[in-house]
Amino acid sequence: MALAAALLVLAIFAGVIVSLLVGSMPAFKAFGFGFITDEAWRPTRERFGALASIYGTVVTSLIAMIIAVPVGIGVAIFLTDLCPRPLRRPIGTAIELLAGIPSIIYGIWGFFVFAPWFQGHVQQPVIDAFANIPVLNVLFGGNAFGIGIFTAGLILSIMILPFISAVTRDVLETVPSVLKEASYGLGATSWEVMWKVCLPYCQTGVVGGCMLALGRALGETMAVTFVIGNAHKIDPSLLAPGTSISASIANEFTEATGDLYRSSLIELGLLLFVITFIVLAAAQLMLQRMERGKGK
């Protein structure tokens, strides 16, 4: 039974790959590898390119990870060693409940509540403050729309925060007490014990939790669709509207009447599958290298 279950999973995995390859073949024959490097997306002219969607997917995920990783690890450290014991369970439960909120709720909240507030209280002041500073006036320039690439990254960071904090907290609790007590006995501070003893001891689990969160960020659909702006273009400003692979598929699949249009959307799905597979494979290689480093 166990072997049958394993083979069933592999069969489903292979079936997904084959269906995506077959469905994307007309688009691949029409555009070749230029589909990946072309930014244009014009259904009326049957010209399709995935570069803008790939850019939006990667950048929003990076923004989410840059924000969520330090915050999530900090929350886990606080709950493990610094938080008063009566408050550990309520705070931990509240953070973990964020993972149970449907993504469409995040999207609705982001569009109707967060984006208008972000537009007036953050985006416009940031645009004005960086207006005369080179590089920053490009990255944070343009008009304040409220929605955009950076807004989508912020919403994603809130969504993946529970995964990072929960996994990190669980692995930090596996650190033997004798290691902590020995470090304190040698005169180490709480920060030194956590940074130089606890985190190195469970670094494999922490990295695994971060990769799990990154996988969620890359494939998120509804929340990103609401707040990213759904503009098929690459703008140097992080505050400008953009799109992602999952958002493009969700928005346009019902409107894809032509075979080439539908095939292009399926090829977008194949690209998302490949990107996610590459990220997770790289994470596994990194974890294996870290494990070998521990052995040495």
Q: What is the mean pLDDT of residues 110-121?
A: 93
Instruction: Tell me what the mean pLDDT of segment 3-19 comes to.
Output: 90
Average pLDDT rounded to a whole number, residues 138-142: 89
Q: How far, in Å, CA of 35 to CA of 78, rounded?
A: 46
- pLDDT in the model for residue 192: 85
Would you say 49 and 37 are in contact if contact means Cβ atoms under 8 Å apart? yes
Position 227 scores a pLDDT of: 95
Structure confidence by residue, pLDDT tens digits, 61-85: 999 999 999 999 999 989 888 888 8
pLDDT score recorded for residue 255: 83
- The helix (H) or strand (E) run that includes residue 47 is strand 47-48
Under 8 Å between Cβ of 247 and 147: no
Alpha carbons 11 and 275: distance in angstroms, whole number: 21
Could you confirm whether domain 30-295 is CATH 1.10.3720.10?
Answer: yes
Secondary structure class of 176 (helix, strand, coil): coil
pLDDT tens for 14-56 read: 898 999 999 999 999 999 999 999 998 998 888 999 999 999 9
Domain residue spans of the chain = 30-295
**Averaged pLDDT for residues 275-296:** 78
The pair phi, psi for residue 221, each rounded to 5°, is: -115, -70
184 vs 296, more confident: 184
Report CA 192 to chain centroid distance, whole Å. Answer: 30
Given pLDDT bands bounded at 50, 70 and 90, which one contains residue 109?
A: very high
Q: How confident is the model at residue 296 (pLDDT cuts 50, 70, 90)?
A: low
Smallest Cα–Cα separation from 196: which of 207, 184, 211, 208? 184
Any idea what the Cα angle at residue 72 is, between residues 67 and 74, rounded to 5°?
105
pTM of this structure: 0.92
Burial class (CB in 10 A: 0-12, 13-18, 19+), 161: buried
Q: What distance in Å separates the CA atoms of residue 20 and residue 51, rounded to the nearest whole number?
A: 19
Q: Residue 292 has what pLDDT? A: 73
Note the pLDDT of residue 295. Answer: 53
Picking from 270, 166, 283, 163, the residue whose alpha carbon sits closest to that of residue 216 is 163
Q: What is the DSSP string of 221-241?
A: -HHHHHHSB---S--S-TTS-
CA distance readout (Å), 122 to 79, 119, 165, 266:
30, 6, 26, 37
